[in-house]
Structure 1
């Protein structure tokens, strides 16, 4: 029998979007899976929505209070019984052959392969955000594991692990799940720790649709970067000694977030500590400055 995959969807107050995510899982051509939905203390009709799907493959667990996405995913990992783990954010969807194609690809890789991630289609709420994102993130996939780690540490191009990743359950157990101190970047930090145990392969097929809505709260972003730096200080120091300007790139990102907050004193401090080396850095700064003067209502992370 084919390998069992445990699919974990963390959700909080996203009943309007969750249904499409569930349907995309129940439509998979690979049928040996369990769908674990972790309701992180929702106050909307999430529970009723999940209950409307009469499929025995669905496992529903609800937190008594909101604990955050990292804790929700960890609850799912505790329940999971599959040999492989997949994550899916509750506002995203998979193509119907996602599991089948990705599992086959991952199993065909070398023995040191611990999992894989796929390309994505991203649906953004505005043309401006589409343009900004094309400038802010590196579209190229790293050609080796070292480059992948550096890209993640620099916050310059993500693999969208919350919806694309397929990973051996044994690796999840070894790393101890997600870091619950992080409100953002928890996926990036998790992936970097997983890479201690083997390689992740990129499957160059767009098997996931991501919905990118709202502008992230700069204060949340800033606090998460500081916590990210603390959690991975050893590995950041290691790569800095090898000549990679990790903290410099992080400072450029922090500079953009302080500009968005109109905290120009802090922005200048990070400008002095950063090193602007490419057009991506320039675009990051300009986008932050735009957010600072646009009077946007930043998206508060009351949904996952």
Structure 2
């Protein structure tokens, strides 16, 4: 371990059949501007003809290398934690990359805090490699205020913690235990919920990690993650309580409103119902009407009717969310012509050309910035993305009368 000014950090890289990207990950770890660290690579039973093994062993004493039978990411992380010599844990997936200053920024942040065990996390970007083998950067997930990233419960609920951006004091694993090896895809957020829910976090407001999106990852996610994510968020909904809100410095009712919006966006209906029950049993704060008035003023400041573009999970959730706050949507459009002929949640669809150009058009699809530009180019005067209003909508107090009516 290091001294108090330069604590030692253990970078743990779990890998399974990671030959395509492992060398880049290790190189990014070894290239840190902070000097007191170790790199631990744990081979989780790769069956790629020894390729992962050859890459790892080529680094010699620059890294510490362990092999184990296949047991999943959590088991590989746990082996690394059990062997770490550092004061702090830092996770790097074998297909992701650290920026050179990652550890230096993390350590500087925690050493500037009165409590040097305070968890740290930072910004990240997603990227893909296109057919020309060039990296393409995707939009950053940084449209929330800093307070969301510093609140443990809100950061976890809203999915704002990237596992490879964290710096966690080893004492947290003594107190909260290791990663749950029964969870194959949600072991990270299950542990963050346990560790962070009643904590204030340190957030380094700059990009520290490049997170790679690739085909094998996507296929794995589609086939196995949905059920685990649903179960995890149902657990979140069941366990959220007033102490979590108090730790975040907000009232419980507002935290429930934020959680309801999040779970509805994800389409997890059971979690939504659990939170609705909790809202019904909680007193609405006295500023609820003023909160809804501010949202209404912001949207109607455009003095236009409200239409949505995109009727996926987020589009439907936004219709419900606005209605619970006393605001009506006039209609929607979608790239799928068949959807435009439907009535969804009592709202009629229509072709894009039938929406008045002076309307307020809210784009609810992923990476909506690109769609906004196209819509503006064809004459729509007032176009915003869902991201631009997500926090405002989430924090606006739900009207209990609307909730009763909707149920």
TM-score in same-fold range (> 0.5): yes
Once the two structures are TM-superposed, the CA of residue 59 in structure 1 deviates from its matched residue by: 1.6
Once the two structures are TM-superposed, the CA of residue 20 in structure 1 deviates from its matched residue by: 0.8
CA contact (8 A) 1:229 1:236 kept: no
Q: Give the Cα separation in 1 of the matches to 2:13 and 2:79.
A: 11
Establish whether residue 53 from structure 1 lines up as the match of residue 59 from structure 2: yes
Q: Secondary structure at the match of 1:14?
A: coil
Establish whether residue 111 from structure 1 lines up as the match of residue 155 from structure 2: no
* Residues 235-289 of structure 1 deviation map (CA, whole Å, 9 limit, x = unaligned): 2366797333535633442479xxxxxxxxxxx99x99997437999436x9xxx
- When residues 83 and 246 of structure 1 are mapped into structure 2, their CA distance, relative to the original with a 3 A threshold, is same
Q: Give the Cα separation in 2 of the matches to 1:189 and 1:141.
A: 24
- When residues 141 and 87 of structure 1 are mapped into structure 2, their CA distance, relative to the original with a 3 A threshold, is farther
Once the two structures are TM-superposed, the CA of residue 51 in structure 1 deviates from its matched residue by: 0.6
Residue ranges of structure 1 left out of the alignment (5+ in a row): 257-267, 287-304
What's the Cα RMSD here?
A: 3.6
Partner in structure 1 of residue 266 of structure 2: 253
- When residues 176 and 148 of structure 1 are mapped into structure 2, their CA distance, relative to the original with a 3 A threshold, is closer
Once the two structures are TM-superposed, the CA of residue 200 in structure 1 deviates from its matched residue by: 1.7
**Across the two proteins, how many residue pairs are aligned to each other?**
265
* Residues 92-131 of structure 1 deviation map (CA, whole Å, 9 limit, x = unaligned): 11122221222112110232751211212321357xxx89
Q: Give the Cα separation in 1 of the matches to 2:229 and 2:63.
A: 35
Superposed counterparts of 1:1-304, under 5 Å: 1=3, 2-44=6-48, 45-55=51-61, 57-64=62-69, 66-111=70-115, 114-125=118-129, 134=139, 139-143=143-147, 147-153=151-157, 156-161=158-163, 163-196=164-197, 198-214=199-215, 215-216=218-219, 217-229=221-233, 231-232=235-236, 234-236=238-240, 242=253, 243-244=256-257, 246=259, 249-254=262-267, 276-277=320-321, 282-283=364-365
CA contact (8 A) 1:3 1:83 kept: yes
Q: Secondary structure at the match of 2:147?
A: coil
Q: Secondary structure at the match of 1:204?
A: strand
Q: Secondary structure at the match of 1:42?
A: coil
CA contact (8 A) 2:149 2:155 kept: no
Q: Give the Cα separation in 2 of the matches to 1:211 and 1:276.
A: 33
- When residues 28 and 138 of structure 1 are mapped into structure 2, their CA distance, relative to the original with a 3 A threshold, is closer
Once the two structures are TM-superposed, the CA of residue 231 in structure 1 deviates from its matched residue by: 4.6
Q: Secondary structure at the match of 2:118?
A: strand
TM-score by length of 2: 0.56
Q: Secondary structure at the match of 1:15?
A: coil
Larger radius of gyration: 2
Q: Give the Cα separation in 2 of the matches to 1:189 and 1:95.
A: 26
- When residues 9 and 236 of structure 1 are mapped into structure 2, their CA distance, relative to the original with a 3 A threshold, is same
Partner in structure 1 of residue 292 of structure 2: none
Once the two structures are TM-superposed, the CA of residue 232 in structure 1 deviates from its matched residue by: 3.8
Between 275-284 and 141-150, report the one with greater CA deviation: 275-284
Q: Give the Cα separation in 2 of the matches to 1:86 and 1:280.
A: 38
Bigger RCO (CA 8 Å, 6+ sep): 1
TM-score by length of 1: 0.73
- When residues 273 and 68 of structure 1 are mapped into structure 2, their CA distance, relative to the original with a 3 A threshold, is same
- When residues 211 and 251 of structure 1 are mapped into structure 2, their CA distance, relative to the original with a 3 A threshold, is same
- When residues 49 and 125 of structure 1 are mapped into structure 2, their CA distance, relative to the original with a 3 A threshold, is closer
Q: Give the Cα separation in 1 of the matches to 2:320 and 2:185.
A: 24
